[in-house]
Amino acid sequence: MAMARAYLDNSATTRPCEAAVAAMTECLRENWYNPSSVYKPAVEAFRRVREARENVLRGVHGDGYELIFTSGGTEANNLAILGAVERMRGKQVVAVSGVEHPSVLAAFEALKRRGHDVRVIGVCMDGELDWDALEAALSDGASLVSVMQVNNETGWLLGGEKLYRFVNGRALVHVDGVQGYLRVPFDMKWADMYTLSGHKIHGPKGVGALIARKGVRLDPRQIGGGQEGGMRSGTENTPGILGLSAAVSELRRLGPDMPDGLMRKKLRLVEGICREVPEVTVNGAAPEASAPHIVNIGFPRVRGEVMLHALEGEGVYVSTGSACSSKKLKVSAVLTAAGLPAGEAEWAVRFSLSPHTTEEEIDYAARKAGELYRQLVRFQRR
């Protein structure tokens, strides 16, 4: 299998860092005991899980909040949304942005089938929520609002202090932080619930977490032995949890300037592609006004899927949208929901970076995008 010359699909998954691999390997070889047992090696495993919980919480200033380890972002989102509403009495009004990850939208579809009043809040192409629609939902008694911190396709900054202040305690606020955790600063005082995933931050797949304000009542989705405070039964994935914690520590060691470093790389990529292909469009907010690691670019008259595979042939790995739905959808539902014509949404390619992305990768990807576009556009219908 050919090695990537430029891996720019970090919103789909990231390469596990050496610290995460080492932590998992050590756990599998030496510290493999069940944290629920009571003899000394098992107690040591329990202590490490507790330290990992505290470490992950520090990434969002979450001291004093509850953290429930899960199998990933999807399970964490389901637990937050379905778990919260199931504990409420009667039919609920609930609100969700129209550009969420499938794991969130599917959870709200399930609520709708159960008779709850689901309000879908629009988002325009500059990444602004339809605040009037959200106010209408809140005025009608909405009990839960769910908005992602960073949109996985465009980099829109949606969930944060502005949203929390707008809601102003009238409803629980759930923020899907899978694409934002550690790459965009966040403080748990801006949310009642927050979800994250290990494999988006150079940790392992199969582990994530839901962080919740103390006092938020949840109905567990998985029952049995009562692990994770009864909120997520099943023997803890100790290797995954320790791998996640190691990845968190490594990213936090990069310091508070890490988001600025990511932004410089993203702007270098955008400038390089625009220099090579002046006719490209940036879908979403201006690059400097969105998340520092995601940019969605339209290559006029060349379908994103065609550009993706052409770049793949040159060792540049990108995507056309959410990895969870890319095999199912031909046109981005996120872009069309925000008002982009379907024909233009077909041109979209997502580039997503990590702190480990090099300038050499960025420059190579920009150059190859220009070369390939000039070849491909000649064969496309006008």
Any idea which residues carry the catalytic annotation?
324
Let me know: does 207 contact 241? Beta carbons within 8 Å: yes
* CA 266 vs CA 102, 119, 246: distances in Å: 26, 34, 26
DSSP string, 201-265: TTS-TT-EEEEE-TT-----SS-SS-TGGGTS-S---HHHHHHHHHHHHHHHHT-TTHHHHHHHH
**Gap between the Cα atoms of 129 and 123, Å rounded:** 5
**Gap between the Cα atoms of 61 and 150, Å rounded:** 18
Using N-to-C axis directions, what is the helix angle for 73-86 and 102-113, rounded to 10°? 30
- 104 alpha-carbon distance from chain centroid: 11
**Gap between the Cα atoms of 270 and 211, Å rounded:** 34
In 3-state terms, what secondary structure has residue 63?
A: coil
Give the residue ranges of DSSP H helices in the chain.
Answer: 18-29, 40-58, 73-86, 102-113, 131-139, 161-167, 238-253, 258-276, 304-313, 333-337, 342-345, 359-376
E-strand spans in 137-201? 144-148, 172-176, 193-197
Nearest to 77 by CA among 211, 255, 223: 211
Strand 348-352: give its sheet, edge to edge: 281-283, 294-298, 348-352
Residues in the chain: 382
Q: Which residue has the tokens 């199969």?
A: 206
